Amino acid sequence: MPDPRLESLRQAVPGLSLKTDPADLEHYGRDWTRRWTPAPLAIALPGTVAEVQQIVRWANAHRVGLVPSGGRTGLSGGAVAANGELVVSLDRMNKVLGFDAIDRTLTVQAGIALQTVQDAARAQGLQYPVDFASRGSCSIGGNIATNAGGIRVLRYGNTREWIAGLKLVTGHGDVLDLNRGLVKNSSGYDLRHLAIASEGTLGIVVEATLRLTDPAPPSNVMLLALPSFEALMQVFDAFRLRLQLQAFEFFTDRALGHVLAHGAQPPFAETHPFYVVTEFASGEAEEGEALAAFEQCMERGLVSDGVISQSGAQAAQLWRLREDITESLARYTPYKNDVSVRISAMPAFLAETQALLADEYPDFQVVWFGHIGDGNLHINVLKPEGLEQDEFVARCGRVTELLAACLQAHGGSISAEHGIGLVKKPYLSSTRSEAEIAAMRGIKSVLDPNGVMNPGKLFDP
């Protein structure tokens, strides 16, 4: 029998596109975590801001939870609908609404894919510089909801830096038109920044005005082989002193092994314990500086080999070694950590964490990689075949408590760029004080008094 609430939703939002097929419920009810069994009430695909408002008002009247949904490439369970929520997919709201050459802004609907935004910026002779491997599938709304980072944060910052304005449909169903593209605006609380990284718990981002910038200069990509973890930050320092780096990413030999098994070509004849991919503007002077930094690192025993891209195709090949890690690990349903500390704390934190995880995970494969230049590590623990998912997650959860304590001691964060969602909810207090969490709850109660917006994500009611 059809759920009577859906009939009332149809009446409240005439003409609303709704999906209820089991395959759609499964598809739209999960994100890349693959840990929870999807069980949404239905999938709503609004086409206008007014329809989103009507859905939110209906949800308040019927006390139905709403899960805002973009590309669902998230890794923290922020877009999971496992408790009879209505998924509000922005798939149909995926257009470019306008470009302003003087303001250098692009206004888009929130369901647009990151790659489409990058292409639209390029077509105007500019760039939208936030970038990461899921660019083709993730949406700008999701990027905003998690303040997504990625591979160019070192040079360009996180998503937050590029949001000149956004429209938020609050948990009341009101539309807030926040900051309206202004460069300067000291008129009180900047609610735009509250919406960024709120993981859909305050409302649904329906539109955004994005700042664009000059196109990136042609670049060179360099892959370095390193003998030790301790060398990482020293190599970073040596390169950063001489070059304006656009990226500085690292991965271990184990990570590379998975990417090679997935079809990539080995970069060196020999294997090395650690690798770094770095990118900087091409040009004679820059290449000279890169070579000097490389030689200096070789002399100090910090680097054991290296290759610099000779063509765009080779640059893409080198990037693939780093960008394909997540996909190549997906079949092991990894338990993911996405942690950060200030880069000054990184050497001590790395040493401690390495020792901790070696002790705590003697029998699990642990894969390290990440945005080391931003102080952001991704530590993926692979589920052994045959071990039940619940048992695996419980064991990883116990270790995450220790990791969270270590992060707290170093002033770090349990989520650098993926969000808290469901996965990291138990550890929020390692990164945020009680007073901060109380303030966040207070803000939520103002913008979403009935708790319909993404219930159970970030913190419990």
Binding positions for ligand 2HG, rule: CB under 6 A: 75, 133, 326, 336, 378, 380
Q: Which is nearer to ligand 2HG, 85 or 131 (CB)?
A: 131
Cβ proximity to ligand 2HG, 107 vs 400, nearer residue: 400
Q: Which residue is nearest to ligand 2HG (CB)?
A: 326
CB of 133 to ligand 2HG, least distance (A): 5
Name which of 272 and 371 has its Cβ closer to ligand 2HG. Answer: 371
Nearer to ligand 2HG, 333 or 408 (CB): 333
Which helix (H) or strand (E) covers residue 145, if one does? helix 140-146
Q: Whole-number minimum distance, CB 364 to ligand 2HG, in Å?
A: 15
Question: How far lies 246's CA from each of 1, 130, 372, in Å?
Answer: 56, 11, 12
CB of 358 to ligand 2HG, least distance (A): 19
- Report in angstroms how near the CB of residue 4 gets to ligand 2HG at its nearest: 41
**Structural contact between residues 220 and 290, judged by C-beta atoms closer than 8 angstroms:** yes
- Crossing angle of helices 346-360/231-242, nearest 10°? 150
CA distance between the termini of the chain: 31
- What are the b/e assignments for 240-271, b being 16+ CB within 10 Å? bebbebbbbbbbbebbbebbbeeebeebeeee
Residue with the two structure tokens 């002779």: 125
**Local structure of 435: helix, strand or coil:** helix
- In whole angstroms, the minimum distance from the beta carbon of 361 to ligand 2HG comes to 16
Q: Is the CB of 258 or the CB of 272 nearer to ligand 2HG?
A: 258
Residue 103: exposure state from Cβ atoms within 10 A (0-12, 13-18, ≥19): middle
- Nearer of residues 326 and 431 to ligand 2HG, judged by Cβ: 326
Residues 6+ apart with CB under 8 A from 223: 267, 275, 276, 277, 306, 307, 318, 321
We find the least distance from the C-beta atom of residue 341 to ligand 2HG, in angstroms, to be 16
Least distance to ligand 2HG, CB of residue 49, Å: 30
Distance CA(296)–CA(360), nearest Å, equals 36
Which lies closer to ligand 2HG via its Cβ, residue 252 or residue 326? 326
The first and second tokens of residue 136, run together, are 């083709």
